[in-house]
Structure 1
Amino acid sequence: MNDHIFPTHEVVKPFINFDSKGFLINGKRTFIASAGLEYARIPRQLWYDRLLRLKRGGFNCVEVYTMWNFHEPLEGKFNFSGDHDLNAFLTIVKDLNMYAIVRVGPYYCAEWDLGGYPLWLKFKPGLRVREDNEEFEKYVDRFFDKLLPIVFNQQINKGGPVIMVQLENEHNNGWGTIVPDNYFKHLQSKALSLGLQVPYFFSGLHHASDPAGDGTLDDPKRPNPWFSTEFWSVWYSQYGAKLTDSAVYARRTWKIIAHGGGGYNYYMAHGGSNFGYTNNDEDAASYDYGSAVGQAGDLRPIYYGFKHAALFARSFQDVLENCTDATAAYKDIAVDSNLRVTARSADIGDLVFLDNPTKKAIKARVKAGNDILVTDITIAPDEIYPLVHNYTINNVITLNWALTQVYGMVKQGNTTTIFVEASKENMALLYFKVNGMPTAAQGAKSFKITDGSISLAAAVQAGSLTEYTFEVSGQRVRILVGDASTMDKTWVTEVQGSAIPVIVSGTSYLADLSLQKTQLSAKGEYPLMAKKDGSIHLYLENKSTVLTYVYQLSNKFASTITLSPWQNKNASVYAAPAYDDSNWFSSADPQQMGADDNLTADAWYRTTLNVPSSGKYTMQVDGGDRATAFIDGKKATQWKVRDGEVTFDMEKGKHTLAVFTAHEGRDKLAAYVGAITYVDKKGLSGQVQLKKGGPFISTTTNWYFTKAEKAVDVKNNIPVFDTTTWKKYKIGDDVFNKQEGFGWFQTIIPVQEGNPSKLMINFRSVDEDATVFINGKQVAQHKGWNSPFAVEVNDATTLQKSIVVTLFIENYSNEGGIDQPVKINSIGDGIVLNNWKMFGGPGNPDAADGWNKLAPKTSFAGPQFFRSQFTVPQSPGKHLIWRVHTDGLSYGSVWVNGHNLGRYPEKVGNIGMYIPECWLKTGINHVVIYDENGNRPDKVGIRSEKGAGRVTYTLQGKL
């Protein structure tokens, strides 16, 4: 797959540029350690906090999507203010001295509702997405006219943080610099006409959970550095951390560094929340992703692994962004058959990586340099251990060998500080060449000075940072040695107004830091359930000092919140026969949810019908997902609309039929190209038929498959059925092993009872292209997967016998076969129900009228609103995380103080729904629940997530 990047505009090259070896930002070789997060999944009040946590984790860049339906939810009504203020977000990124990669779409995926497309696009006749379709491009252009000036005015050459832009996302055809058709040409010309000047690319680069693989990333044909825009770190099906995550993803990151990568972007580094109705059908409110920075801002073990790799890569970016493969020169540095060695070489120095791919620790004998420096290094299972050789620190000091794990390095004026992560097995061993006479100062006994060199051999002191310094001709080297836990608590940052960074060590997390003349003030925190932080040190260019910290006195905190007695309001009034629906959206046949511009996950449908005789009736209607039918205001049944039909009893006479429908998020339309009107329909859609008796829909079984060698003119070429070549096939199986392939699929439909006048064969999804035969005769062709289609059989003679259905399927990528069950519909002609009314949404959760005290043991037959009040307990010095636990409820939404927390139940476990701290207030808070089945809230509670909570304190120091 093409992984090239379009070149920088000439005027921007001094600000952002690249060659085949690396990126250059403001003329300096720069390793891009990027963190994926979505501002759309974070309240604006928390943008700064989340970005700062990523910056502290060593990241110098963020990558974001600009979800179309987040900014233009209703046609022509754009929102770039408040939580939608992209310009404000990018300004914060810039203020934090970070960069941004912006993925402008128009498609996004991202486990987001409809992949980011506005819902109203579904109802535009003739519109086809992601191809050269005039109707689609018209609306893309209108959106880009609003969006792109915001992004492009924040390009780095204009003082903003934006260094790269991605057009489109994960398209089947156009990645990197491939321009396969006029659709991509249109996107490109539109963006360039609006002022795109920084490097850009299509769809993405190297999306994978292990993007580096096991080979070298060097490619002489590539004009730009290797870069991954989606390094999948954990997955969206996970909440929180697993014990193995940190080691697994640290290894995959170090492979990028060791094999020649120019950077990476974790998707996701912070996941956030799907507030409101923004989730797709795979998620609910949480989009935690098991990420480094949790949904509630807590730091997971994987965070510190990412921090280590990022700080190392950025410390030696002048090597990594300008290097060649030097593995051959160092292949004999360590003698162990299980150890892999790779190396990168640049004019300024070399990096050597010792890779232990086994599940056992290796104690390797390392022989380095012409003077044969020999030491034993213990390398943990799956660890990649970096060594540094011949690295030029300044004009008088060269780091000849670091036979120890350098955590990072920072220049502080005339002082270079080197962080060394040591252990009981691996002491700190550094060898320097000097041009002049070195003078050892702090820790002098651990230095060895000879003519033209100075070396350090030092054991680690558990739980503390030990300082060693020497000086040559006014240039100072400070070496800070600590174990892994100490390095986790060591932070490099800048002070406003100064270009020289400072180092703070000892706090579990360092937040804001400021310096007023000689008085330093900072904020620190440690996990709520962890031990209190110990001694905290500040390291400046020429001095270090111990900081004092001030804790709030309270050690106690509440873990639950008391809720006031619940009230309820009937949200099923729309089912009452006498309800006035005259102002509702009307149509002959029911229309999909959203046709009335309502963007929620709920909708009501109403009509009247006249039943000729009492008995069991079957109603057929297309759509999705869940539905509850009410006849004359009384609940009749619940069913899944996607099943196609529902059966219930009715009495003779005229009735009011009300149907409540709800869904759990729309499909993200991954890899989908074409018309979207009938893809993943929600609510009720199309003609509604009612017929006495039933059910009339069955699912085909006993499918068989045989392989075809190639795609040919399949007409009259169906192979003879023979069980020696035709094998049993299970719907959903991939018979092509994720490769291009072709095959025949066949089943037999038995004669249907009741002598129907027609038979419908419904294919919900075939992957990818299908030719359909009935009794050997070609009757239909269909292109594309995840797109339903139907074949009608209405010949009376054919219907009197069993029917042989044969498909020829052409698969061109990934999995292939019959994705979804194939259903047979024998209803024939029933009573058509028309004159439908629709009302989208649950109603107004903030409305003051209609509330009553929730009576004990009362049950409900349809949707209900419930509300309560609560006061957040005061816990000085504690940053508590509160979650609404929806125990005992069915499906629905939760609002706190008017903010929609998203959809429940969660699909990543019973974690509760995260309440952003900025949405809570001192005094009385309000919680409102909309439960679609009307389940009582007796078991609902608001509880503290102790694992995500933090203790906060103030750091002070006088310089």
Structure 2
Amino acid sequence: MIEQTSLSIHDQENNSNSGVRKSQPELTYDARSFYLNGERIFLNSATIHYFRMPKEDWRDVLMKAKLAGMNCIDTYFAWNVHEPEEGQWSFEGDNDCGAFLDLCAELGMWVIARPGPFICAEWDFGGFPYWLGTKDGVKFRENNETYLHYVHLYFDQIIPIIRKRQLSAGGTVILVQVENEYGYLMDDEAASAHMNTLRDGILERGIDVPLITCVGGAEGTIEGANFWSGADEHYAKLRAKQPDTPKIVTEFWTGWFEHWGGPSAIQKTASLLDRRIMEILRAGYTGISYYMFYGGTNFGGYGGRTLGSSDIFMITSYDYDAPLSEYGRVTPKYAVTKNLSYFVRAFASVLMESENIADEQIQVRHPIGISVRGRQAGQEKVWFVESHKDERETVNITLEEGRTLPVSIHPGQIVPVLDRVLIADQVYLTAGALITGNEEINGELTLFVTADRGQRSVIELELGAKQASDAGDLILKDSTVQVLVEQDATRNAYRFDLFHFQEPGMMRIEANGTSIRFVILDRDTMNRTWRVESSDRQNLRYAIGFDDVDVTASGQVKGMIADPDRTIMLLGDWQDGEQTRTGREFCIQEVETQPESISAADKDRPSVLANAVAPMVPVAPVLSGIPDYSRVTLTAQQRSASGQPMDFSEYGQDFGYLLYECDFDSAENGTTNLILPNIQDTARIMVNGTQQALVRQVGAAAVPIQVFQGQNTLQILVQHMGRLNFSPYLGERKGVAGAVFLGGQTQDIRRDWQMETGTVHLNEVNSLPVGMMLRRNFVLGDMDGAVLTGALSKGIRINGTEIPMPAYRDWFAFQTLDLSSYVKPGVVNTLEMPYSQSPLNRLELITYQNEHQLQDWRMAGTDALLPVSWESFDPAERSASYGQPVWYRWRFAQPVTDECHKVNLMIRLTGMSKGTIHVNGHHLGRYWQIGPQEDYKIPVAWLKEENELLIFDEEGRTPERVRLMLDEMSRYPWVMVGK
């Protein structure tokens, strides 16, 4: 027997002060799973961030998670959202995280709270407020006095909100996470001092539910793993490290983020997601947190910047290719997640009690190209059958006692096969198809049998004796499909051969006195099958056939119908009882209940009602005619106190734009280089009012510019593109920081590296031993400053001296190093670097003369770029671009719709360049027409009867093709299903 352990760490560590605990719900655990009040629970958790959507959307998104079989919500808390300026706390409206937790409780969902203070999340600065980086001597994510001072002030605000809603206080917060992914920075021993400090800070503020960590642990906490693949390896590490704790996936990456100029992140397909979930279940995990279940949007300037190349800045959408889209729509991944969550719910007791079956104990026979692993709880088994074949096949596997089952399986797919699993008193199920339900509905034990359309599946029921003299009996009561039944009298077993049509089928039996019905579905119909449970879990219903489902606050169920000829089946405790109808009949009923949608005379005409689908089709609003526009004259008045450019934080601005401006003299007309040794964002370079370049690859840059004899005015317009959210170098200086120089040179030094056996080019694919030292010579000439930027590896030496890189991690190879104090002007310098990988996308040596530093900088912030006066835009009088920043303004009405539709609005910015979008004072985020994002979400919750749209375009590009659109699913009707 595995000992059950209490998770009240606060009580364990503060026993003398805790006194006698009140009778409250209690969370305990053993090596297999968590227990709530003595009952094992499998954590199906949906990661959803309240700060990535309007408050008005919370209920719909959380309900979609519940309908997908999730029983838990996982959320970060973003410090920079709640304290955007020092001491100015915000917990109202969209930032009311307490209300979000309350809504989770109202919907009957447990919560995993992750307060950070570091959260990563592809969120600006990993959740830290920008002003934290201005504090003298601050060092992030370590026991730094300054850092901890502000962390404790943050904990004083956020932890009480969580404490009041934890399990012992009558809420549903069951787990609280300490920090986040600290193991990526250092091992547990090195991390323990800081992790323990944060752990104690949480405990001291009254948290008594379990503490967890992810990727790296802390004493007295439960560690989980973050991954997409490699479930077995992660499980083995966790089990070796913490043999007595449940194994949970704290972040199961359902998709991935996207960055400006990169490809769409759609590599994690729905079929792969299905496989990865099966790998997790097969390994033995009893908790999965789907990161993300719903991604949402990086509104405002909150999209972050992450590891890799110099310019991996998050796009505005955080769709993440997650099961629920940015617009709250279900996807093929949602269907996978829902179906397998239903499977887990149906057989959680077996999965949570089970242990891995050793390979030498497996007695399942199978053909070549198929492998089988299993888990066993008592006499019950679940086999995971995996295909290594090139095409879908129906293969036979033979279990103990010669029981042979056909299994339909796709290449790379893993199919769970139930083997003598107890489903009723002395009734044991063996199934070669996915079973996605196993519970009583309207007094009948109901199981859903799922397979591909046109495929056969076999299930077997074996009846044990209720009494010594009783053989057990089975009666086939009725069936809406043809079923082939075979009886094996020697085992008192009944074998049912089922066929999966597009139309749902049903078979009813009585086995050992238990009424059982099997609902036989093809996979597409299972995707449209919904388990609807009340928040008090007293009423259970199933709706089959709807493309989407929602449950209102009053308990009314609504369903979306894309095909009115599809069969709709309602099972369970519905107001009007169980029924089977077509979608068209539901639509007719909807029309009949809306007298304004159809005349009384037409209601008596069957032909009218027969063709009725919905009262109307939604229409996207049209932008009002010719927009107003306001050209921005770039000018900076405020002089930098240091004479050098200041970064965003020094200037006192969190996001937006900074304009840098200075004058310089040139002896002649021609081209020279502008050297930016420290630039962390995209920048437009203008000389004498004419744009010269757009800097994209940042860190450091050398930019060719055209100058004129005499005085020139240099302007640099920088858009804040997001701070590093995951890096050992958190807290970079945003914008242009420090000295800027004229002249200088840049060299792409990826080629012509020397090694003992010859020359290697690092912009090509090479297979070299990692760590092999490569060498390259260069000459500074009359330059006395040098910067190396790009994909560097640790151990770089200049003229035999190794350059310190204390925070270096091989997963964050990009770095900028100032070599000025190591190089020697006028002679040959030798650069050595250990080989790490190739091809490299960037490795540049930038050199300059310190005496050519530009002085007397002037600056202006976003306020100086706001529109002052408006003109009427005339497309006939202008070219494709004004060549300078421009604001455009439109008016538009709300989308034309009705109660039968749920619309989503987006804006497409064809023809524009780069800038920001604003609706009714809400900052919708950055845009940049280099992909992969093409459309931008406009939350319907932020709309009024008349709305104002503002677009700031850095180049003043033509707006004629800008248009508002509804998403594809907006056109389908929703109907009332019942209560």
Query: Does 1:376 pair with 2:406?
Result: yes
Instruction: Report the Cα distance in structure 2 between the residues aligned to 1:38 and 1:187, rounded to whole angstroms.
Output: 22
- 1:507: Cα distance to partner? 1.9
Query: Does 1:23 pair with 2:34?
Result: yes
DSSP-derived class of the 1:683 partner: coil
Query: Does 1:905 pair with 2:941?
Result: no
- 1:409: Cα distance to partner? 1.3
The amino acid that maps onto 1:792 is S
DSSP-derived class of the 1:909 partner: coil
- 1:894: Cα distance to partner? 0.9
Q: Name the structure 2 match of 1:495.
A: 534
> Which of 679, 698, 718 lines up with 1:623 in the alignment?
679
Contact 1:393/1:399 (8 A) holds in 2: yes
Cα 1:382–1:526, aligned 2, differ >3 Å: closer, same or farther? farther
Correspondences of 1:202-213 after superposition (within 5 Å)? 202-204=213-215, 205-213=224-232
- 1:865: Cα distance to partner? 0.8
- 1:318: Cα distance to partner? 1.0
- 1:569: Cα distance to partner? 4.3
Cα 1:458–1:779, aligned 2, differ >3 Å: closer, same or farther? closer
Query: Does 1:350 pair with 2:385?
Result: no
Instruction: Report the Cα distance in structure 2 between the residues aligned to 1:176 and 1:191, rounded to whole angstroms.
Output: 21
- 1:94: Cα distance to partner? 1.5
Contact 1:330/1:343 (8 A) holds in 2: no
Cα 1:274–1:463, aligned 2, differ >3 Å: closer, same or farther? same
Contact 1:881/1:949 (8 A) holds in 2: no
Instruction: Report the Cα distance in structure 2 between the residues aligned to 1:239 and 1:611, rounded to whole angstroms.
Output: 42
Cα 1:853–1:340, aligned 2, differ >3 Å: closer, same or farther? same
The amino acid that maps onto 1:285 is T
Q: Name the structure 2 match of 1:538.
A: 571
Query: Does 1:802 pair with 2:821?
Result: no
Instruction: Report the Cα distance in structure 1 between the residues aligned to 2:863 and 2:735, rounded to whole angstroms.
Output: 11
Unaligned runs of 5+ in 2: 12-20, 216-223, 305-311, 467-471, 592-611, 809-813
Contact 1:272/1:287 (8 A) holds in 2: yes
> Which of 853, 869, 879 lines up with 1:850 in the alignment?
869
Q: Structure 1 length normalisation: TM-score?
A: 0.84
Cα 1:174–1:215, aligned 2, differ >3 Å: closer, same or farther? closer
Query: Does 1:443 pair with 2:500?
Result: no
More off after superposition, 558-567 vs 272-281:
558-567
Superimposed CA distance per residue, residues 430-457 of structure 1 (whole angstroms, 9 cap, x where no aligned partner):
3042536655544399678879957462
- 1:929: Cα distance to partner? 0.3
Instruction: Report the Cα distance in structure 1 between the residues aligned to 2:158 and 2:847, rounded to whole angstroms.
Output: 46
DSSP-derived class of the 1:685 partner: coil
> Which of 755, 762, 785 lines up with 2:787 in the alignment?
762
Q: Name the structure 1 match of 2:270.
A: 246
Superimposed CA distance per residue, residues 772-826 of structure 1 (whole angstroms, 9 cap, x where no aligned partner):
333x4x374332335533122699xx533322233569x8xxx699985242313
> Which of 642, 652, 665 lines up with 2:722 in the alignment?
665
> Which of 87, 107, 126 lines up with 1:76 in the alignment?
87
The amino acid that maps onto 1:36 is T
Cα 1:821–1:173, aligned 2, differ >3 Å: closer, same or farther? closer
Q: Name the structure 1 match of 2:737.
A: 685
Instruction: Report the Cα distance in structure 2 between the residues aligned to 1:705 and 1:7, rounded to whole angstroms.
Output: 58
Instruction: Report the Cα distance in structure 2 between the residues aligned to 1:234 and 1:334, rounded to whole angstroms.
Output: 35
Superimposed CA distance per residue, residues 532-565 of structure 1 (whole angstroms, 9 cap, x where no aligned partner):
5433323239973347624455476366542213
The amino acid that maps onto 1:476 is S
Contact 2:391/2:411 (8 A) holds in 1: yes
Instruction: Report the Cα distance in structure 2 between the residues aligned to 1:308 and 1:629, rounded to whole angstroms.
Output: 53
- 1:744: Cα distance to partner? 2.9
Cα 1:481–1:401, aligned 2, differ >3 Å: closer, same or farther? same
Q: Name the structure 2 match of 1:417.
A: 446
Q: Name the structure 1 match of 2:561.
A: 526
Cα 1:745–1:566, aligned 2, differ >3 Å: closer, same or farther? farther
How many residue pairs get aligned? The number is 894
The amino acid that maps onto 1:16 is L
Instruction: Report the Cα distance in structure 2 between the residues aligned to 1:354 and 1:808, rounded to whole angstroms.
Output: 45
Superimposed CA distance per residue, residues 298-322 of structure 1 (whole angstroms, 9 cap, x where no aligned partner):
1111211111111111211111112
Identity of aligned residues (%): 22
Cα 1:339–1:695, aligned 2, differ >3 Å: closer, same or farther? same
Instruction: Report the Cα distance in structure 2 between the residues aligned to 1:257 and 1:166, rounded to whole angstroms.
Output: 23
The amino acid that maps onto 1:264 is I
Q: Name the structure 1 match of 2:286.
A: 262
Instruction: Report the Cα distance in structure 1 between the residues aligned to 2:191 and 2:451, rounded to whole angstroms.
Output: 52
Q: Name the structure 1 match of 2:817.
A: 789
Cα 1:570–1:618, aligned 2, differ >3 Å: closer, same or farther? farther
More off after superposition, 56-65 vs 165-174:
165-174
> Which of 306, 311, 331 lines up with 1:300 in the alignment?
331
- 1:234: Cα distance to partner? 2.5
DSSP-derived class of the 1:893 partner: strand
Contact 2:459/2:495 (8 A) holds in 1: yes
> Which of 214, 230, 233 lines up with 2:254 in the alignment?
233
Correspondences of 1:386-465 after superposition (within 5 Å)? 386-394=416-424, 396-412=425-441, 415-422=444-451, 424-433=454-463, 435=466, 440-443=476-479, 455=494, 457=496, 459-460=498-499, 462-465=501-504
Contact 2:108/2:536 (8 A) holds in 1: no
- 1:499: Cα distance to partner? 1.6
Instruction: Report the Cα distance in structure 2 between the residues aligned to 1:390 and 1:63, rounded to whole angstroms.
Output: 35
Superimposed CA distance per residue, residues 691-717 of structure 1 (whole angstroms, 9 cap, x where no aligned partner):
xxx3544444545365xxxxxxxxxxx
Q: Name the structure 2 match of 1:275.
A: 299
Contact 2:442/2:573 (8 A) holds in 1: no
Q: Structure 2 length normalisation: TM-score?
A: 0.83
Instruction: Report the Cα distance in structure 1 between the residues aligned to 2:807 and 2:6, rounded to whole angstroms.
Output: 30
The amino acid that maps onto 2:246 is P
> Which of 16, 25, 48 lines up with 1:37 in the alignment?
48
Contact 2:912/2:929 (8 A) holds in 1: no
DSSP-derived class of the 2:131 partner: helix
Q: Name the structure 2 match of 1:478.
A: 517
> Which of 354, 360, 371 lines up with 1:340 in the alignment?
371
Instruction: Report the Cα distance in structure 1 between the residues aligned to 2:351 and 2:331, rounded to whole angstroms.
Output: 27
Higher helix share: 2
Instruction: Report the Cα distance in structure 2 between the residues aligned to 1:455 and 1:325, rounded to whole angstroms.
Output: 28
Cα 1:631–1:254, aligned 2, differ >3 Å: closer, same or farther? closer
- 1:501: Cα distance to partner? 1.8
Cα 1:897–1:760, aligned 2, differ >3 Å: closer, same or farther? same
The amino acid that maps onto 1:457 is F
Instruction: Report the Cα distance in structure 1 between the residues aligned to 2:117 and 2:793, rounded to whole angstroms.
Output: 24
Q: Name the structure 1 match of 2:706.
A: 648
The amino acid that maps onto 2:963 is G
Correspondences of 1:815-894 after superposition (within 5 Å)? 820-830=842-852, 832-834=854-856, 836-840=858-862, 843-844=865-866, 850-856=869-875, 857-858=877-878, 859-876=881-898, 877-894=900-917
Contact 1:768/1:817 (8 A) holds in 2: no
Superimposed CA distance per residue, residues 230-259 of structure 1 (whole angstroms, 9 cap, x where no aligned partner):
222232239999698121110111121123
> Which of 686, 690, 703 lines up with 1:635 in the alignment?
690
More off after superposition, 5-14 vs 400-409:
5-14
Contact 1:64/1:103 (8 A) holds in 2: yes
Correspondences of 1:702-713 after superposition (within 5 Å)? 702=751, 704=753
The amino acid that maps onto 2:271 is A
Cα 1:413–1:645, aligned 2, differ >3 Å: closer, same or farther? same
The amino acid that maps onto 2:272 is V
Instruction: Report the Cα distance in structure 2 between the residues aligned to 1:604 and 1:240, rounded to whole angstroms.
Output: 32
The amino acid that maps onto 1:352 is W
Cα 1:403–1:669, aligned 2, differ >3 Å: closer, same or farther? closer
Cα 1:411–1:327, aligned 2, differ >3 Å: closer, same or farther? farther
The amino acid that maps onto 2:540 is P
DSSP-derived class of the 2:437 partner: strand
Q: Name the structure 1 match of 2:608.
A: none
